Each structure stands twice: as structure tokens, then as C-alpha cells.
Amino acid sequence: MPKKWIRTREWQRQPHAKEPIASLWWFGFPDRQVIISAYVEQASRGRALPDDFKAKLVEWLDELKQLQNKKEWGQPRTYRYWTIPAFALARSLKPATLMKRLRELESIARQKFSDRVPSSRKKRAPLSEKEIQEIKARYLSGVDAKELAADYRIPASQVGHICRDEKEIRRSEREARENQQAPAVTEEDPFRSEI
């Protein structure tokens, strides 16, 4: 029996994402210090921050954005990005707090650089009736739900919800094709030998 692979505490505290964190799209800008300064000013209202908070924040963001070599964890020639929870656990931070900080930084970046926000990070307007009909027609023609979700920038679960009836139609057509292709089953057992 194969050995069951379990994510250990050590694995949870190392980089394992193949893509960088999408919410840090703004960190590559040369004027990123504007965003960081605005966030530090916002975060310091009503509470005292550590003296080196801004330096630590820049260090964390830089490390989150960079590709990490997993040689330290016994996997040379393997490179991965940090996920937010894994990075927080490795640095003894609260994951929810770090995620909140990154959300707030991204919202400030959206306000300051609204013309530079990538289309994948923009909020999508609700689907129009025309788009819903197009999704249903394409789904019925055999296009995959994940592909439709990527094309319309919506979750695949929403495509499935929109195309409930079309899914039933596709299922019944598939079953009909399978029944036509399958040979007729006789009541006699073909493996039974005559004695």
C-alpha cells in the first residue's frame, strides 16, 4: 500500500507556491514607498507601532515577492514563492493579521495608482443578461467551465451555478451516447462454461 503523504508542520512553514502573491502587483513599482508610507501613517492612527515597523514591513514584502530557493529545506534546485500563511507561520506572525495588512496595502495601491491596476485584480461588474446567455450557449456546446470562468473573470462555481440546466442536458446527451455505443447485455453470463 502506498505511503500517505501528510503536510507536516515543517512543510507548512516553507515556501511552496509556484506563482507570486497576486495582491503584491504594486510592489514592483519604483514609487512603492508612497503606498508603504501611506499605510504606515494609516496604521499608526490610534495605536503605537514599533519603531522599526516600516523597515520590517518592507523586508517582509520583499521576501514575499522574491522566488525562494528551497535548499534550506532539503530540496536543492527547487524554487517556490511564499504563501501568506506559510510566511506568517515561519516568521511567528499571525496569518490573519498579515493577510489584513496586505489587503489594506492593496486597497491603498488601488487608490493611489488606479490606472495601473491589472485587469485580474479589478472588481468585475455583475454579468449582463447577454453574457449569461453566451456562457450558457458556450457551456452547452462543450466548453469547459474553468475556461469560461477565466474568459469572463468569474469563479468556476458561478459558471456551474449559471449552467445548472445545461449541465443536466449535457449529462443526458452523454448518457445517451454511451448507451448507444455499449453492446446490448444479454442475460446469459458470457464467462459461464458449458458443462
- Distance, CA of 24 to CA of 65 (rounded, Å): 7
What tens digit of pLDDT does each residue of 139-190 get?
989 888 899 988 888 888 899 899 888 888 888 988 888 888 866 555 666 6
- Distance, CA of 161 to CA of 4 (rounded, Å): 34
The more confidently predicted of residues 49 and 2 is: 49
CA atoms within 13 A on the CB side of 164: 3
What tens digit of pLDDT does each residue of 76-107 get?
888 999 999 999 999 999 999 999 999 999 99
- DSSP label at residue 79: E
pLDDT of 119: 77
Q: What percent of the chain has pLDDT over 90?
A: 39
